[in-house]
A and B are shown apart, each in its own frame.
Chain A
Amino acid sequence: MLTALHFAIIAPFIAAVFVPFLYKKFSYIHTGWFVLAVPTLLFLYFLQYLPITANKQTVTAVADWVPSLGIHFTAHVDGLGLLFALLITGIGMLVVLYSIYYLSKEKEALYNFYTFLLMFMGAMLGVVLSDNLIVLYTFWEITSLSSFLLISYWYEREKSRYGALKSMLITVMGGFAMLVGFVMLYSMTGTFSIQEIIASANDITSHNLFIPAMLVILLGAFTKSAQFPFHIWLPDAMEAPTPVSAYLHSATMVKAGIYLVARLSPVFAISGEWLWLVAGFGLTTLFWGSFSAVRQTDLKGILAFSTVSQLGMILSMLGVGAAAIHFDSMEDNLYVGATTAALFHLINHATFKGSLFMMVGIVDHETGTRDIRRLGGLMTVMPITFTIAVIGSFSMAGLPPFNGFLSKEMFFTAMVDITSFHLFNIDNIGIVFPVVAWIASIFTFIYSMMLVFKTFTGKMQPEKLDTKPHEAPFGMLLSPIVLISLVIVFGFFPNILSYSVIEPAMASILPSLLGEGEQFYVDIYFWHGWTIELFMTMGVIGIGTLLYLSLRKWVAMYQVFPDSLTLNHVYDQTVVGVERMSSRLTGSYMTGFIRDYLLYIFSFFAAALVFVLFNKNAFSIQADLAPISVYEVILAIVLVSTAFVVMFTKSRLKAIIGLGVLGYTIALFFVIFRAPDLALTQLIIETVSVALFLLCFYHLPHISKELEKVRFRLGNLIISIAVGVTVTLIGITANSSRLFESISGFFPEASYDEAGGKNMVNVILVDFRGFDTLLEILVLGIAAIGIYTMIKLRLAGRNEL
């Protein structure tokens, strides 16, 4: 049964349907104002779950979808799901508000934008609130699809299309891999329900499929969260309008991968591979992202790589947090803190990165460029934007007193603590963790400073800007101001969220650690003594400042890497190569002649069937065939002779009439064999198709005889005989081998009892197998549209010429 919770998930989809109407009807009001209501109401709706999850209770609502395969639309709200749902709707609210001022209602196709945005919002809610893996996967791919549409929103730009295609190819590839992993999980546990899989996690750790399933699921998560080496799509996705970047790349889509890792941690975290892979890829991405960000000159490019890097950081904390699960309780368990840090940073990242994206959007909007080589000195003209940039960037760099400082300290703590974990060789080579984390943080510091000082200080060069810079309107500033206030609030009162949001989410990630009535100890505080983490931060600030000031001297080092060695180059080459190969392959068999296609179909049909049936020894021929009546002989003679007429006639009219006669004769056979439905259908189909033939009679080319060489005819003869023999053999076999009780007795009774119909053909069509019929009429509809567009569009094209 669908509940309010289900409707909350699909509400954005329903709202999306109305967007074009609202756009048309109320063209004088910005469509965004209507759309704003959706995330606002949903945010308020999800808030009411806070007290429930804070008490460690979960809400589950099941609606059957494909019950026979164990696929249910199960909505499950627990701490982790709720945290993400609040992020999605909360940030969504601010992003929609911002977009109202960012996108002009005169110049932009707003109906597209908001339809896609709502689709995306609904899909993300579905991902984080579904308990069923298949449903999760479905929503997951809708996020890929809708983000593709959003990134290519300005589709007339080549770069937008390129970026959209890239993001889709990479994330969908990962999604497919993930689906394989889900099926493996199903075959190990016999259920698609995540909660049930978690419950049986201990039984599957030694299963053969455990590691493969983990690898392919991680592939899905890594591609989605832009982990190295799959991060290359994220910078190109920056071609999207800035509200989209702020939404997809700070708060939602890229965090779907993180959500998945967190969600499945209880299943996989017991194995050492999980810890190494998640933490390893996370740290690599953290370093590579921050390292690459420094060379960027586009503000959004810097933010893109910074997102890549921060996602790596969150992921590495989740990976390290897996160490916690090797303890039975929370006593002396140092590693729980890593999970706290991951969740805290997840929230912090959404706040400061969201506001930074909006800040960059404002700069872009008001100056016409995002290139830091052209910008500078905006501090005096855009003081509010400057303040936002300073707070956001300083938080990102991990400077006190902002929330980024707190989570960065916790991150360092986690990385330092992992070196004392005596499992999986981490105590030997674990020192790499804090070292990489520290170096990456220095680069993070550098690009954060670039973001502020290159844009807002120095000399303003108005001649290089497209428009005269001025402060943004208040409405546009509102959303980033709200986010930046949160940065400060979470900085000064970090424990606001501790037990309402973070602790319940931890309980979902590390369920095995909690006993009845227990809870995690979450206490985030500024001053933690003269610890190693504090010295690390001081080092970051000191060395970072030195490196930033001498940036010009060492930035040339980035030129060392040749272009042909970059991952982007590899991606481009692969895409071009695959395209070339597939077009060559298609070109070789798509000849455009229908007889060639029939040739493939018939030879495949005959060869495959004969091979399989012979191999299985399935042919059986018994002599006790039914007696042949006089009518049947007459009809058969008519059938065969008209077939010959069709083949050998030189006139197309005769051929068409011959085909009609063939069809009618078959209809008569149906009458004799007491299949009135089929006979009726066949009769009308024949009538209509003969009429169709006559309609297009004028346009058909003349039957040309010179094509039909002897070789061609011989080949046709062989194939037609093979098909005929195969069909005959199958017919006789079907008649001779009665392996099962015939169901002909079952259907008439079942049709009457269960569906109240006496015509079992019709009952099967509409009652028992209605879904087949539905899809069939869908196919019919697609065929009609196909024919329509083929003929009409071809005509239109010709007219243009």
Chain B
Amino acid sequence: MKSNDVILQTTTKVVLFIILAFSVFIFFNGHHEPGGGFIGGLMTASAIVLLMLAYDLEMVKRILPFDFKVVTAAGLLVAIGTGLGSFLFGVPFLSQTFDYFTFPVLGELELATALLFDIGVYLVVVGVTLTIIQTIGEDQ
């Protein structure tokens, strides 16, 4: 059913990595600049959607052999896990904290536990979007 669109496919090969890199950047940058798990996840998902449009679902399945339902579940587990983790320190559910650390090369950086929670959000968003799109796309 898929026509062979060479221009789209060639562009996709390049653009895909730019989008993915940008999505990772925007994800890590979320605490200070616009971005975060939700947008980062959506952007990753849209990159994969682009891949699906340029090639087809089967190809994407071969390149990314994940079950995206499992990705969703993993994301939820991570998010809940960070919430439960705060019990270990005797603070209420989902308490977050942050501190500054100095790294070689990179210099002083802030590390926040919120990032862990954001990873959960990121995974859920990617998982959900792609589960829906794959399911609908496969439904012929």
Q: Which residues of A contact B (CB under 8 A)?
A: 1-2, 63-65, 67, 676-677, 680-681, 684-685, 687-688, 691-692, 694-696, 699, 755-759, 761-763, 765-767, 770-771, 773-774, 777-778, 780-781, 783-785, 787-788, 791-792, 795
What CA separation (Å) do A787 and B136 show in the bound complex?
8
What CA separation (Å) do A783 and B139 show in the bound complex?
17
B125 near A777: Cβ-Cβ < 8 Å = yes
What distance in Å separates the Cβ of B110 from its nearest Cβ neighbour in chain A?
A: 6
Extra 13 A-B pairs, beta carbons < 8 Å, given A63-B87, A755-B96, A758-B31: A684-B45, A694-B53, A756-B112, A757-B114, A759-B33, A762-B118, A765-B38, A766-B96, A773-B117, A777-B75, A778-B76, A787-B132, A788-B135
Say yes or no: A756-B31 contact (C-beta < 8 A), given A766-B37, A784-B128: yes
What CA separation (Å) do A685 and B42 show in the bound complex?
7
Q: Which residues of B contact A (CB under 8 A)?
A: 26, 30-39, 42-43, 45-46, 49, 53, 69, 72-73, 75-76, 79-80, 83, 87, 90, 92-94, 96, 98-99, 110, 112, 114, 117-118, 120-121, 124-125, 127-129, 131-133, 135-137, 139
What CA separation (Å) do A699 and B30 show in the bound complex?
38
Chain B residues whose CB sits within 8 angstroms of the CB of A774 once the complex forms: 79-80, 83, 94, 117
Chain A residues whose CB sits within 8 angstroms of the CB of B49 once the complex forms: 687-688, 691
What CA separation (Å) do A36 and B26 show in the bound complex?
51
What CA separation (Å) do A757 and B115 show in the bound complex?
11
Could you list some 8 contacts between A and B, CB below 8 A? A1-B90, A2-B87, A677-B36, A691-B133, A756-B31, A777-B125, A780-B72, A784-B131
Chain A residues whose CB sits within 8 angstroms of the CB of B26 once the complex forms: 680
A781 near B72: Cβ-Cβ < 8 Å = yes
Say yes or no: A684-B42 contact (C-beta < 8 A), given A676-B34, A773-B121, A784-B69: yes
What CA separation (Å) do A737 and B75 show in the bound complex?
42
Closest to B122 in A: A777
Closest to A681 in B: B39
B132 near A784: Cβ-Cβ < 8 Å = yes
Chain B residues whose CB sits within 8 angstroms of the CB of A680 once the complex forms: 26, 34-35, 39
Q: Specify which of B35, B43, B133, B139 lies most central, judged by the most chain A CB atoms within 10 Å of its CB.
A: B139
A780 near B125: Cβ-Cβ < 8 Å = yes
A784 near B127: Cβ-Cβ < 8 Å = yes
A767 near B114: Cβ-Cβ < 8 Å = yes
Neighbour of A677 across the interface among B34, B117, B129, CB < 8 A = B34
Q: Is the interface of B mostly helix, strand, loop or mixed?
A: helix
What CA separation (Å) do A691 and B131 show in the bound complex?
14
Closest to A751 in B: B31
Say yes or no: A67-B90 contact (C-beta < 8 A), given A696-B136, A767-B114, A784-B127: no
Chain A residues whose CB sits within 8 angstroms of the CB of B131 once the complex forms: 784-785, 787-788
Say yes or no: A684-B46 contact (C-beta < 8 A), given A692-B132, A784-B132: yes
What CA separation (Å) do A1 and B43 show in the bound complex?
40
What CA separation (Å) do A288 and B77 show in the bound complex?
51
Chain B residues whose CB sits within 8 angstroms of the CB of A778 once the complex forms: 76
What CA separation (Å) do A694 and B50 show in the bound complex?
12
Chain A residues whose CB sits within 8 angstroms of the CB of B136 once the complex forms: 692, 695-696, 787, 791
Chain A residues whose CB sits within 8 angstroms of the CB of B87 once the complex forms: 2, 63
What distance in Å separates the Cβ of A780 from its nearest Cβ neighbour in chain B?
A: 5
Closest to B68 in A: A784
Neighbour of B139 across the interface among A63, A64, A685, A791, CB < 8 A = A791
What CA separation (Å) do A757 and B39 show in the bound complex?
17
What distance in Å separates the Cβ of A671 from its nearest Cβ neighbour in chain B?
A: 11
Chain A residues whose CB sits within 8 angstroms of the CB of B80 once the complex forms: 774
What distance in Å separates the Cβ of B52 from its nearest Cβ neighbour in chain A?
A: 8
B69 near A788: Cβ-Cβ < 8 Å = yes
B72 near A766: Cβ-Cβ < 8 Å = no
B133 near A695: Cβ-Cβ < 8 Å = yes
B117 near A756: Cβ-Cβ < 8 Å = no
What distance in Å separates the Cβ of A677 from its nearest Cβ neighbour in chain B?
A: 5
Closest to B116 in A: A766
What distance in Å separates the Cβ of A59 from its nearest Cβ neighbour in chain B?
A: 19
Chain B residues whose CB sits within 8 angstroms of the CB of A761 once the complex forms: 34, 36
Chain A residues whose CB sits within 8 angstroms of the CB of B124 once the complex forms: 777, 780-781
Neighbour of A766 across the interface among B32, B118, B135, CB < 8 A = B118
Chain A residues whose CB sits within 8 angstroms of the CB of B72 once the complex forms: 780-781, 784-785
Neighbour of A759 across the interface among B32, B129, B139, CB < 8 A = B32
What distance in Å separates the Cβ of A166 from its nearest Cβ neighbour in chain B?
A: 34
What CA separation (Å) do A684 and B42 show in the bound complex?
7
Say yes or no: A681-B114 contact (C-beta < 8 A), given A774-B79, A780-B128: no
Say yes or no: A691-B53 contact (C-beta < 8 A), given A766-B37, A770-B94: yes
B98 near A755: Cβ-Cβ < 8 Å = yes
A762 near B112: Cβ-Cβ < 8 Å = no
What distance in Å separates the Cβ of B28 from its nearest Cβ neighbour in chain A?
A: 11
What CA separation (Å) do A684 and B124 show in the bound complex?
16
Closest to A790 in B: B135
What CA separation (Å) do A778 and B94 show in the bound complex?
15
Chain B residues whose CB sits within 8 angstroms of the CB of A784 once the complex forms: 69, 72, 127-128, 131-132
Chain A residues whose CB sits within 8 angstroms of the CB of B94 once the complex forms: 770-771, 774
Closest to A688 in B: B46
What distance in Å separates the Cβ of B122 from its nearest Cβ neighbour in chain A?
A: 10
Neighbour of A770 across the interface among B32, B83, B125, CB < 8 A = B83
B133 near A781: Cβ-Cβ < 8 Å = no
Closest to B96 in A: A767
Closest to A677 in B: B34
Q: Specify which of A681, A763, A777, A780 lies most central, judged by the most chain B CB atoms within 10 Å of its CB.
A: A777
Closest to B37 in A: A766
B43 near A684: Cβ-Cβ < 8 Å = yes
Q: Specify which of A685, A695, A696, A792 lies most central, judged by the most chain B CB atoms within 10 Å of its CB.
A: A695
What distance in Å separates the Cβ of B57 from its nearest Cβ neighbour in chain A?
A: 9
What CA separation (Å) do A692 and B128 show in the bound complex?
13
Say yes or no: A692-B31 contact (C-beta < 8 A), given A756-B98, A771-B94, A777-B76: no
What distance in Å separates the Cβ of B116 from its nearest Cβ neighbour in chain A?
A: 9
Closest to B49 in A: A691
A757 near B90: Cβ-Cβ < 8 Å = no
What CA separation (Å) do A768 and B87 show in the bound complex?
17
Q: Specify which of A2, A757, A783 lies most central, judged by the most chain B CB atoms within 10 Å of its CB.
A: A757
Say yes or no: A766-B114 contact (C-beta < 8 A), given A695-B137, A771-B93: yes
A755 near B125: Cβ-Cβ < 8 Å = no
What distance in Å separates the Cβ of B115 from its nearest Cβ neighbour in chain A?
A: 8
Chain A residues whose CB sits within 8 angstroms of the CB of B43 once the complex forms: 684
What CA separation (Å) do A691 and B30 show in the bound complex?
26
What CA separation (Å) do A688 and B43 show in the bound complex?
9
Closest to B87 in A: A2
What CA separation (Å) do A778 and B127 show in the bound complex?
12
What CA separation (Å) do A778 and B123 show in the bound complex?
12
What distance in Å separates the Cβ of B104 from its nearest Cβ neighbour in chain A?
A: 22
What distance in Å separates the Cβ of A795 from its nearest Cβ neighbour in chain B?
A: 7
What distance in Å separates the Cβ of A67 from its nearest Cβ neighbour in chain B?
A: 7
Chain A residues whose CB sits within 8 angstroms of the CB of B110 once the complex forms: 756
What distance in Å separates the Cβ of A679 from its nearest Cβ neighbour in chain B?
A: 8
Closest to B110 in A: A756
Say yes or no: A64-B121 contact (C-beta < 8 A), given A756-B112, A757-B31, A766-B37: no
Say yes or no: A766-B36 contact (C-beta < 8 A), given A692-B133, A781-B128: yes
Chain A residues whose CB sits within 8 angstroms of the CB of B132 once the complex forms: 692, 783-784, 787-788
Say yes or no: A762-B36 contact (C-beta < 8 A), given A784-B132, A787-B132: yes
Closest to A792 in B: B135
What distance in Å separates the Cβ of B20 from its nearest Cβ neighbour in chain A?
A: 13
A688 near B112: Cβ-Cβ < 8 Å = no
Chain B residues whose CB sits within 8 angstroms of the CB of A757 once the complex forms: 31-32, 98, 112, 114
A766 near B92: Cβ-Cβ < 8 Å = no
Say yes or no: A699-B31 contact (C-beta < 8 A), given A684-B39, A756-B110: no
Neighbour of B38 across the interface among A681, A767, A792, CB < 8 A = A681
What CA separation (Å) do A761 and B29 show in the bound complex?
13
What distance in Å separates the Cβ of A773 from its nearest Cβ neighbour in chain B?
A: 6
